[in-house]
Amino acid sequence: MEYTKTLLLLTFLFNKGNTQANDCVPRELDFGIVCVCNATYCDDTPDNDPKIPESGTVYWYVSSKSGLRLNLSQAHFNSCEASYNTPVLTVDPSRRYQTIFGFGGAFTDSTGINIKNLSRAAQDQIIRTYFGRNGSRYSLGRIPIGGTDFSTRPYTYDDSPSDVLLRYFSLAPEDYKYKIPYIRRAIELNPDVRFFSSAWSAPSWMKTNHRINGLLGFLERKYYRTYVDYLIKFLQEYKNNGIDIWGISTGNEPTNAFVPFDRLNVMAWTPRTVSEWVADYAGPMLENSEFNRTKILLLDDQIFELPWAAAKVFQNPKAKHYISGTAVHWYLDQFFSLSILDDTHNLSPDKFILMTEACTGANILDNPKVALGSWERGQEYVLSIIEYMNHWGIGWIDWNLVLNRQGGPNWIDNYVDAPIIVNPETDEFFKQPMYYALKHFSRFVERGSVRININNNLSNVKSTAFVTPSNEVVVVLYNKSNREEDVVLEDPNNGPVCLKLLPYSINTIIYAQ
């Protein structure tokens, strides 16, 4: 505890003298500490002066269960004396792996509804805190094609039965009220943000069960071409509204269509049907359209399905040609080894792996769904991101950017948690530990960074490391222990730096290579 107080004091003095940082306004809520933002104030993380640490100097950002939130201090190489048994973590910039594409979250209807419930000034604070230079610097956004369960109603963009020519296709009121305005504000803050889209279901009249959800609702083969036309119309309408779509997935969580009584909007695929649809329709039709640079992402579902996605679908050479990468969700990761990601990468090293949906509060036993201030849920995020980075993931994308205190709205009452929760009664929003867990990566590991090797035999300290395009080394360490951990970070070009990791703390260390 005394060390925490000292670090807080040093952090305050360093911030006061070297940055214009706004500090977290903490509030103890149901399960821990949140940072409170409103129309006039929100904590942030501005660039340092100098932006890149001087040779021999380390910038060290810490968030902890005890209440630190990206608090900044400095450390120095070759200036500490460690005991002979202090663990050493060795960074090796010469051993390089995948290139990182980015981090972000999803612009669902619920996100837009909740943002819209705040004043315009508070709305702008939320977009800045995610996409601004002093915020998380999100570089990826997921846009649902039509409705999801995180809408107030089930809908697609053409619910007119048998409209094969798609004469009645149109974006929904939700797009114009809850998605497009906030997406365009994000682009204003970060013109390099990239968007990918997923459809939860085709229009019900295109499906074998004629429903937006339900068991075994496949796309009817006679509508394979029509459905691609439908998706291209979506791409065109969003482009007309100033939003270019970088990628499009084959559909959100298709295996939910094999689960009895599941009410989620869904459309079923099998390895055979999705590979045929991509090979003979989606791939060639996109290639021959103005959207021929749009990436196709396979699966968009749970990690245990990767063997069929990578092995069976890629057995179709035409489908493999058109697919750029595989999208995976995190919800069942605790039951499977992430070595599945390694196997998938090794099978097709030219196809990227992108984690495209994660949230806490989704398990059936999670109660309440929104656990305000829960450090444990932030820990779930940081440990998952580290693991995905260490197993060939090129990015990590959160689910809803913003929800309310119930965890919705959601038309099937499928409530979950989110990094930012709004409190419209006071025109405030709460930034949870999950927000800071993601920011420890998204703020510092910019697009084009490359993961590098870090040797770490500790069970209580998890780690990953990168070299950025600016030639900085970024190391993220998480101490999952309830006690302080002394470690030495060793770089072959700089020497050792001693770090005392607080209990349950996220540590981002940055230095010039």
Q: What is the CATH number of the domain that holds 89?
A: 2.60.40.1180
pLDDT, one tens digit per residue, over 245-272 is: 999 999 999 999 999 999 999 999 999 9
Confidence (pLDDT) at 15? 46
Q: Are 192 and 447 in contact (CB under 8 A)?
A: yes
Confidence (pLDDT) at 163? 98
Distance CA 477, CA 491 (A): 15
Residue 253 annotated among the catalytic residues of the structure:
yes
* One domain, residues 227 and 350: yes
Kindly tell me if the per-residue pLDDT of 301 is higher than 80: yes
pLDDT, one tens digit per residue, over 358-380 is: 999 999 999 999 999 999 999 99
Closest CA to 15 of 62, 56, 55, 84: 62
Residue 446 annotated among the catalytic residues of the structure:
no
The whole domain housing 322 covers 101-444
* One domain, residues 173 and 284: yes
Among the candidates 386, 414, 444, a domain finishes at 444
% of the chain at pLDDT higher than 90: 94
Confidence (pLDDT) at 7? 45
Confidence (pLDDT) at 21? 80
* One domain, residues 92 and 106: no
Instruction: Tell me the average pLDDT across 93-109.
Output: 98
Confidence (pLDDT) at 14? 44
Instruction: Tell me the average pLDDT across 298-303.
Output: 98
Q: How does strand 247-249 pair with strand 295-302?
A: parallel
Confidence (pLDDT) at 493? 94
Helical axes 433-442 vs 375-390, angle rounded to 10°: 30
* One domain, residues 305 and 357: yes
Confidence (pLDDT) at 443? 98
Reported as a pLDDT band with limits 50, 70 and 90, residue 310 is confident
Confidence (pLDDT) at 17? 41
Reported as a pLDDT band with limits 50, 70 and 90, residue 3 is very low
> How many domains are there within the chain?
2
Dihedral, CA atoms, 488, 493, 494, 495, nearest 10 degrees?
A: 40
Distance CA 104, CA 189 (A): 14
* One domain, residues 270 and 400: yes
Among the candidates 444, 469, 490, a domain finishes at 444
Catalytic residue among 174, 253, 276, 485: 253
CATH at 207: 3.20.20.80
* One domain, residues 338 and 286: yes
Residues ≥6 apart with Cβ < 8 Å to 231: 145, 199, 248, 282
Average of per-residue pLDDT values in the chain:
95
Q: Give the global pTM.
A: 0.95
Distance CA 405, CA 156 (A): 27
User: Could you tell me what percentage of the chain is helix, strand and coil, using 3-state DSSP and rounding each to the nearest 5?
Assistant: 30, 30, 40
* One domain, residues 53 and 160: no
Catalytic residue among 174, 276, 357, 387: 357
Confidence (pLDDT) at 84? 84
Tokens linked to 325: 């990468």
Asked if the peptide bond before residue 349 counts as cis, ω within 30 degrees of 0, the response is no
* One domain, residues 155 and 268: yes
Confidence (pLDDT) at 19? 53
Among the candidates 392, 412, 444, a domain finishes at 444
